[in-house]
Amino acid sequence: EIKLAKRVLALSPSPTLAITAKAKELQDQGLGIIGLGAGEPDFNTPEHILHAAKKSMDEGLTKYTPSAGLPALKKAIIEKFSRDQGISYRMNEVIVGNGAKHILYTLFQVLLDEGDEVIIPAPYWVSYPEQVKLAGGLPAIVECTEENEYKITPEQLKASINEKTKAVIINSPGNPTGMVYSREELKAIGEICLKHNILIVSDEIYEKLIYGNQTHVSIAELSSELKEQTIIVNGVSKSHSMTGWRIGYAAGKKEVIEAMTNLASHSTSNPTTTAQYAAIAAYNGTQEPVEVMRRAFESRLETIYSKLTAIPGFSCVKPQGAFYLFPNIKDAVEKCGFKDADEFSEALLTDVQVAVVPGSGFGAPDNIRLSYATSLDQLEEAIRRIGKFVEEKM
Ligand code: PLP
């Protein structure tokens, strides 16, 4: 028997895995499953990006690149920051990595010493606590309320700071809630972080998927002090429908980026060269496809939101970004006689063949997550089935 390292034994498996495995099993039995578990846009990568990738390969550009990414890509990212956020970064303040997920992993590895705490507002993206633990840190989970749109308040932030606190994660627009922090909210959070010297990890991967009259504000753009205090994490996965290309990046103080680059030089060497050429086209080319996808998500949200909230025992703060609905279904779970939302989700899959992700893995056991990165027909059918399921069980 092989004895595995303690650090992996402490890892929690991805909560989406169990339901995905079950969904696949039922699919193989020939049952028509509607999967609402996906965390990726259902569009093809735009044509001009594919073309740039193919062209680079034809030109023989298929070798190692600098560990922190091609200078041309870093330039394109720096221009994106200046265009969208009005902030300027130097070349040594940006690192490109193999997806935002791996960038976050590398970031926590270089920031955290054993026992350092990272404040993580819940509901949170499933990988944050695991990545913090893998770096020897301690996740300090702060439960955010539905009344406050699942966002951390300045009071909650202040109350969770102690001498071990190293950083706080702000994810806006957020996965799984779709909530967006306003300029004022970020300003209040920023002031506290500056006062207590807490670093801000700002995960802005859903920046371009934002609806209604909301706008994306990066906490780093609020002042030069906050820019210094913040490491922005972003990428092309969600904005340009490029999840499989694995390109993400971080921008922040030189010392942090240098340390991350050193670590990358011994772990990944560089993000895939072809994918980097694709990402250059994503940022330097037309942004029209980004807006087309955004509008498609928004129109789906507008169509299905009221149908979802009409289901008895479901309540849902209306998402302002990303592509998830995160209803609180506590009432429905109780009235249908289930133990919890996990059990509810499993029955939903077995009885009416709709796969959703239970909220327990996101630190919100009363909720479920439904992705609307799928066709409107499928979404409407899924919600019809969920509604019927609840009404029959109640
Ligand atoms: N951050 C959040 C909040 C996410 O939801 C995801 C993807 O699901 C990522 C980061 C990672 O994105 P990627 O590694 O595809 O760039």
Q: What is the pLDDT of residues 302-323, one digit of tens each?
A: 999 999 999 999 999 999 999 9
Q: What's the whole-number average pLDDT of the chain?
A: 96
- The confidence band for 23, taking pLDDT boundaries of 50, 70 and 90, is confident
User: What is the average per-residue pLDDT within 177-199?
Assistant: 98
- The confidence band for 24, taking pLDDT boundaries of 50, 70 and 90, is confident
- The confidence band for 128, taking pLDDT boundaries of 50, 70 and 90, is very high
Q: What is the structure's pLDDT at 15?
A: 66
Beta carbons of 152 and 189 less than 8 angstroms apart: yes
User: What is the average per-residue pLDDT within 156-160?
Assistant: 98
- Ligand 1: which of 181, 237, 243, 323 to mutate, judged by most atoms within 8 Å of the beta carbon? 237
How far away, in angstroms, is 176 Cα from ligand 1 center? 11
How far away, in angstroms, is 155 Cα from ligand 1 center? 28
How far away, in angstroms, is 100 Cα from ligand 1 center? 6
Q: What is the structure's pLDDT at 25?
A: 87
Beta carbons of 36 and 356 less than 8 angstroms apart: yes
**In the predicted model, is pLDDT for residue 78 greater than 70?**
yes
Q: What is the structure's pLDDT at 39?
A: 85
Q: What is the structure's pLDDT at 12?
A: 76
- Domains of the chain are 6-44+289-393 (3.90.1150.10), 62-284 (3.40.640.10)
Is the pTM of the predicted complex or chain greater than 0.95? yes
User: What is the average per-residue pLDDT within 369-385?
Assistant: 95
- Ligand 1: which of 104, 108, 120, 125 to mutate, judged by most atoms within 8 Å of the beta carbon? 125
**By percentage, how much of the chain surpasses pLDDT 90?**
92
Q: What value of ipTM does the predicted structure carry? A: 0.99
Q: What is the structure's pLDDT at 244?
A: 96
